[in-house]
């Protein structure tokens, strides 16, 4: 059976559409992988600040980038993907912590040596002691205050932090001031 010119055009168009889709997919995949290369460490650091295990943190980061891929595939807004990723990680890490609260692993620098920092033994003791004090003061802060500090250190604007944490701009500023004052008091001791 011979096909009409219109049907041939239909097939060509569908074929072209499938090809475009595949190439668009490949481009998005590259984009997601590039972002992964650039942001994995920072996002993983943020996820771990919720006290979850490294494996859980890695899983969450993978999940967030798969969600990003779907987000981009659906042509959803792409402005401030950094803030978007931190928001997804925040929500996933909270869920994971609730699920695995029994297996949460708090950070512990007690056994960490500071040999990489080229300090003499006396300086190393002081360095470790200061870090331990700061770390325990940090751990004692409410989660929302810890997240504010962490997200600020990642260079996010207060507006972005407020969106991720679901609090007001004023609360972000108040949280940061309060937390820093507490950390400073610990540092002075």
**Chain residues that interact with other proteins, rule: CB under 8 A:** 4, 6-7, 9-10, 13-14, 17, 21-22, 25, 29, 32-42, 44-45, 48, 54, 58, 61-62, 65-66, 69-70, 73-74, 80, 82, 107, 109, 112, 116, 130-131, 134-135, 138, 149-150, 152-155, 157-158, 173-174, 176-177, 180-181, 183-184, 187
Cα dihedral 17, 18, 21, 26 in deg (nearest 10): -140
Nearer to other proteins, 41 or 101 (CB): 41
- Note the residue count of the chain: 189
Would you say 69 and 32 are in contact if contact means Cβ atoms under 8 Å apart?
yes
CA atoms of 114 and 120, how far apart (whole Å): 10
State how far the alpha carbon of 146 is from the alpha carbons of 31, 55, 154, 183, in Å.
30, 21, 12, 11
Nearest distance, CB of residue 6 and other proteins, angstroms: 4
Nearer to other proteins, 107 or 140 (CB): 107
Nearest distance, CB of residue 153 and other proteins, angstroms: 5
Nearest distance, CB of residue 69 and other proteins, angstroms: 6
Q: Which two tokens stand for residue 77?
A: 């807004």
Closest CA to 56 of 98, 1, 116: 98
Nearer to other proteins, 135 or 143 (CB): 135
Nearer to other proteins, 29 or 123 (CB): 29
């Amino acid at each position: 059976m011979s096909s009409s010119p219109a049907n041939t055009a239909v097939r060509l168009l569908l074929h072209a559409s499938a090809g475009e889709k595949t190439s668009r997919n490949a481009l998005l995949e590259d984009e997601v992988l590039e972002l992964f290369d650039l942001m994995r460490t920072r996002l993983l650091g943020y996820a771990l600040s919720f006290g979850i295990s490294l494996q859980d943190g890695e899983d969450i980061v993978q999940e967030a980038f798969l969600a990003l891929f779907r987000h981009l595939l659906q042509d959803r807004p792409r402005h401030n993907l950094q803030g978007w990723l931190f928001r997804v990680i925040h929500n996933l890490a909270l869920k994971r912590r609730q699920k695995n609260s029994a297996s949460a692993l708090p950070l512990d620098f007690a056994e960490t040596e500071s040999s990489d920092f080229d300090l003499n033994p006396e300086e190393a003791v002081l360095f470790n002691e200061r870090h331990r004090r700061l770390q325990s003061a940090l751990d004692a802060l409410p989660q929302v205050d810890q997240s504010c500090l962490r997200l600020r250190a990642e260079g996010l604007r207060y507006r972005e932090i407020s969106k991720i944490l679901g609090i007001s701009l004023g609360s972000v500023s108040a949280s940061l001031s309060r937390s820093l004052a507490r950390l400073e008091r610990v540092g002075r001791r």
